[in-house]
Amino acid sequence: MLESLLAIGGLVLLRDSVEWEGRSLLKALVKKSALSGEQVHVLGCEVSEEEFREGFESDVNSRLIYHDLFRDPLNWSKTGEAHPGGPLGALRAMCRTDSCSITIAVDSLSWLLLHLPCTELCQTLHVLSHGNSYPGVNPPVGQVRVLGLLHEELHGQGPLGALSSLAQTEVTMDGKMGQASVHILYRRPQQRPAYQTQWFSILPDFNLDLQEGPLESQQQPSSHVPLVDPTTHLTFNLHLSKKEREAKDNLTLPFQFSSEKQQALLRPGPGQSSSHIFYEPDVYDDLDQEDPDEDLDI
Amino acid sequence: MAAVATGASGPQCAEALAAAAGNSSSTSFRRRVPKAGGAESSGPRLVSISGTRPSVRNGQLLVSTGLPALDQLLGGGLAVGTVLLIEEDKYNIYSPMLFKYFLAEGIVSGHTLLVASAKEDPTDILKELPAPLRDDNSKKELDEDICHKTAENNTKMKIAWRYQLLPKMEVGPVSSSRFGHYYDASKKISEKLLEASKWHRFFLPEKVSSTLKVEPCFLTHGYGKLLQFIQNIIYEEGFDGSNPQKKQKNILRIGIQSLGSPLWGDAISCTESCGNNHSLTKFLYVLRGLLRTSLSACIITMPTHLIQSKAIIARVKNLSDTVVGLESFIGSERETNPLYKDYHGLIHIRQIPRLNNLICDESDVKDLAFKLKRKLFTIERLHLPPDLSDTVSRSSKQDLADSAKLLGPGCGTMAGGKKHLDF
């Protein structure tokens, strides 16, 4: 499952909630991409660096490039470590470094959404995901992947919808009865979105253990209503037999101008005679058409 | 004798007079023919621009939207100087198709294009335009489709055979049509056609460096830049009549993709309360003013499902002229509903403008569905079965999907099932 999540570049949005947390899945993804030789940058905002690095082996830890925003987010100590452009500037600077593929893990996007305007964050994420096609960036960068953790209960529908529309992959954490699951939505451009649901659990060393769904506990006995077919005891026929159906098909309908009717109209039948009108002129009838004054008696 | 002599000479004199009077005409009456091609011509000259035609209903100049079925629903086409707003579907799969059809129609008709986007580079958008179908190929393919369908229909309609005479929604291509072409969605447009056409691009990340902090003033920065760009193009190329030496009038087709999304710098989709955020509505107002004074038509796709405030959506609809909404079935419960299995989504014509008119040209067909086949984007009438269950209300058709599930045992199975009653 992790390979499919990391396969396409772009923004991978991990939406978690209070009951089902997503940081462990984020760390599992970070470990996987670090072990596959990519450059991994981590922008840590919510937890301290020690806490984030906890649980990783030394080789993973050595490959992580950590940008710490937790200790001094507003740069009060003025040590000069923080990037001048703020967290967004730090993000943009990450994708300009090298030409190999980069994974950027943002922990978390919720923190950035609460401190920065949403539109700027969306624009920065868009630039990061499509960073290799802009003329402003000097050499073309390899594939950039952004893993963003988002706590969906902290935000309203607006920012969630905006970030979802930008994401290429959206992973929603869920679960039932102690078993965690993810609903993955793959949004590729110009293609229909694909859904997938996967039950899993994360081991202490941040490897993934895929599982089947939770065991079904005793099912509620479904109340069966015996189906009553009303056509069984009827005093009339509801269906036609084959002969009756054939007879019905062969019937010409009254308003249909079929060939038989046409013949009947063109050729008068033997029983019909053409009608004639016989006229006996009366004594008062005006037979002369041209003289209009004949009946004036002048 | 004398009378006869004078009588005989009379006609000869008349002929001699007539011969002296005019060379070709035998009478002295002459018809005043209006001079054609004069500077002070007496009659009005018809503006004949390629790819347009006057509407038979209200006399407006119409351009095609690229889909003849959509043209028919909008009353012949899109009027020049108006805005066509497409409400995007949730996953933004089908609205780019309509956008591309509009632009491809512009290229085929020889119009100038202006493509603005904050998401993709307009050059890439233009490379993915569908290729126009040649007339004979398209006629053959559509004839096959239509024959296939009518063959099925003919066997069914024995009693209600008069309904076969009803006009079908799908209009086949007219062989020599210069208005409304057909496109093959599986092929890309050829490079030659693209190079031969004239187009301008506006790509927001290039124009606006986002590290620059700009105070929000009248309009969002991106919108202001876009309006200035459009105004410059209209002025320089003379679409508003400001360069009278232009030899041939042409139409400018403007396409703006995903207006109102956060990539344009507009926070309208991110905040729930609209507050003082009137940038989008002001942009539409100014844009409409620019369009009305120039020979241009605009298509805008907008992700209205992201905008939370219904008041703003209503204002946006009022500020646009023609509004078409796309609703795709992906992800919704209707995807598995057998009623909708042939289609990919519903298309709603939400608004048609009243231009110099008291009534607008609404078609009486309100249930329309679209389907994106491999080569063609079709819009068809949706035939919903009658509501036969007593649990569904008459006023809402979308409960039909729910009622189909609610039909339980009993009389309901007869109505909704495959068994039919023969009498």
Structure tokens at A79: 């040590």
B348 vs B414 pLDDT, higher one: B348
A73: domain CATH number is 3.40.50.300
Chain A residue numbers with beta carbons less than 8 Å from the beta carbon of B262 are: 118-119, 122-123, 162, 166
Give tens-digit pLDDT for A20-46: 988 999 999 999 888 888 888 999 988
Structure tokens at B61: 């100049």
A160 vs A275 pLDDT, higher one: A160
Please name the residue of chain A whose CA is at the shortest distance from the CA of residue B344.
A192
pTM of the model: 0.73
Give the pLDDT band of residue B373 (cuts 50, 70, 90).
confident
Contact between A63 and A34 under an 8 Å Cβ cutoff? The reply is: yes
Give the pLDDT band of residue B402 (cuts 50, 70, 90).
very low
Lowest mean pLDDT across A73-77, A184-188, B392-396: B392-396
Residue B279 CA, distance from chain mean position: 26
Question: Which candidate, B278, B258, B259, B272, places its Cα nearest to that of A157?
Answer: B272
Long-range contacts of B336-339 (CB under 8 A, 24+ apart): B337/B401, B337/B404, B338/B404, B339/B384, B339/B385, B339/B400, B339/B401, B339/B404
Largest Cα–Cα separation, chain B: 116
Q: CB count, 10 Å around CB of A14?
A: 29
**Scanning the structure block, which residue is given the tokens 């098909």?**
A249
Chain B residue numbers with beta carbons less than 8 Å from the beta carbon of A159 are: 270
Give the pLDDT band of residue B391 (cuts 50, 70, 90).
low
- How large a percentage of chain B has pLDDT more than 70? 66
Please name the residue of chain B whose CA is at the shortest distance from the CA of residue A120.
B265
pLDDT for residue B222: 87
Mean pLDDT (whole number) for B40-65:
73
User: Which of A181-195, A277-291, B85-99: highest mean pLDDT?
Assistant: B85-99
> Is a pLDDT exceeding 50 seen at residue B188?
yes
Mean pLDDT (whole number) for A264-283:
70
- Helix, strand, or coil here: B136? helix
Lowest mean pLDDT across A38-42, B80-84, B272-276, B303-307: B272-276
pLDDT for residue B347: 92
Give domain status of residue A22, yes or no: yes
Give the pLDDT band of residue B355 (cuts 50, 70, 90).
confident
DSSP B283-338: HHHHHHHHHHTTTEEEEEEE-TTT---HHHHHHHHHHSSEEEEEEE-TTSGGGG-G
B185 vs B87 pLDDT, higher one: B87
Interstrand relation of B83-87 and B322-328 (parallel, antiparallel or unpaired): parallel
pLDDT for residue A98: 61
**B412 in A contact zone (CB under 8 Å):** no
Count of pairs with CB atoms under 8 A, one residue in A, one in B: 89
A72 vs B370 pLDDT, higher one: B370
pLDDT for residue B31: 67
Q: Which domain holds residue A125?
A: 2-133+140-211
Mean pLDDT (whole number) for A165-193:
87
User: Residue A118: in which H helix or E strand, if any?
Assistant: helix A118-129
B98 vs A220 pLDDT, higher one: B98
Where does B112-265 have alpha helices with state H?
Answer: 122-127, 135-156, 191-196, 204-207, 221-237
> Is a pLDDT exceeding 60 seen at residue B420?
no
Structure tokens at A105: 């893990």
Please name the residue of chain B whose CA is at the shortest distance from the CA of residue A156.
B272
**A118 in B contact zone (CB under 8 Å):** yes
What is the C-alpha to C-alpha distance for residues A142 and B24, in angstroms, rounded to an integer? 84
Contact between B268 and B274 under an 8 Å Cβ cutoff? The reply is: yes
pLDDT for residue B83: 95
What is the C-alpha to C-alpha distance for residues B345 and B87, in angstroms, rounded to an integer? 13
pLDDT for residue B408: 37
Strands (E) across B57-107 are located at: 61-63, 78-79, 83-87
Q: How many domains are there within chain A? A: 1
Mean pLDDT (whole number) for B3-7:
46
Mean pLDDT (whole number) for B229-239:
90
Give tens-digit pLDDT for A138-161: 455 567 889 999 999 999 888 999
**Scanning the structure block, which residue is given the tokens 């965690």?**
A180
Question: Which candidate, A83, A99, A91, places its Cα nearest to that of A122?
Answer: A91
Structure tokens at A150: 């988002």
pLDDT for residue A67: 87
> Is a pLDDT exceeding 80 seen at residue B43?
no
> Is a pLDDT exceeding 90 seen at residue A278?
no
Give domain status of residue A275, yes or no: no
Tell me which residue in B119, B205, B271 faces A134 most closely, judged by beta carbons: B205
B394 vs A57 pLDDT, higher one: A57
Lowest mean pLDDT across A54-58, A291-295, B133-137, B166-170: B166-170
Mean pLDDT (whole number) for B208-237:
78
Give domain status of residue A77, yes or no: yes
Instruction: Phi first, then psi: give them for residue A277, nearest 5 degrees.
Output: -115, 125
Give the pLDDT band of residue B406 (cuts 50, 70, 90).
very low
Long-range contacts of A243-251 (CB under 8 A, 24+ apart): A245/B422
- Give domain B52-144+178-380's CATH superfamily: P-loop containing nucleotide triphosphate hydrolases (3.40.50.300)
Tell me if B265 and A123 make a contact (CB, 8 A cut-off): yes
What is the C-alpha to C-alpha distance for residues A262 and A255, in angstroms, rounded to an integer? 12
How high is the mean pLDDT of chain A? 80
CA dihedral (A220, A221, A225, A227) positive or negative: positive
pLDDT for residue B7: 46
Mean pLDDT (whole number) for A88-92:
82
CA dihedral (B133, B137, B139, B143) positive or negative: negative
Tell me if B262 and A162 make a contact (CB, 8 A cut-off): yes
Tell me if B265 and A161 make a contact (CB, 8 A cut-off): no
Mean pLDDT (whole number) for A107-117:
90
Question: Which candidate, B228, B225, B249, B254, places its Cα nearest to that of B239?
Answer: B249
What is the C-alpha to C-alpha distance for residues B390 and B407, in angstroms, rounded to an integer? 9
**B406 in A contact zone (CB under 8 Å):** no
Residue B233 CA, distance from chain mean position: 23
Q: How far apart are the first and last CA of chain B?
A: 99
Question: Which candidate, B26, B33, B77, B35, places its Cα nearest to that of B55?
Answer: B77
Question: Which candidate, B56, B74, B58, B55, places its Cα nearest to that of B66?
Answer: B74
Give domain status of residue A289, yes or no: no
pLDDT for residue B331: 77
Give domain status of residue A222, yes or no: no
pLDDT for residue B252: 93
Contact between B349 and B69 under an 8 Å Cβ cutoff? The reply is: no
pLDDT for residue B214: 56
Give domain status of residue A11, yes or no: yes
Structure tokens at A17: 């909630």
Mean pLDDT (whole number) for B213-227:
76
What is the C-alpha to C-alpha distance for residues B44 and A228, in angstroms, rounded to an integer? 77
Give tens-digit pLDDT for B105-156: 999 988 999 999 999 899 999 999 999 887 655 555 555 555 555 545 455 5
Tell me if A118 and B262 make a contact (CB, 8 A cut-off): yes
Chain A residue numbers with beta carbons less than 8 Å from the beta carbon of B270 are: 117-119, 122, 158-159, 162
B143 vs B188 pLDDT, higher one: B188
Structure tokens at B237: 């190329």
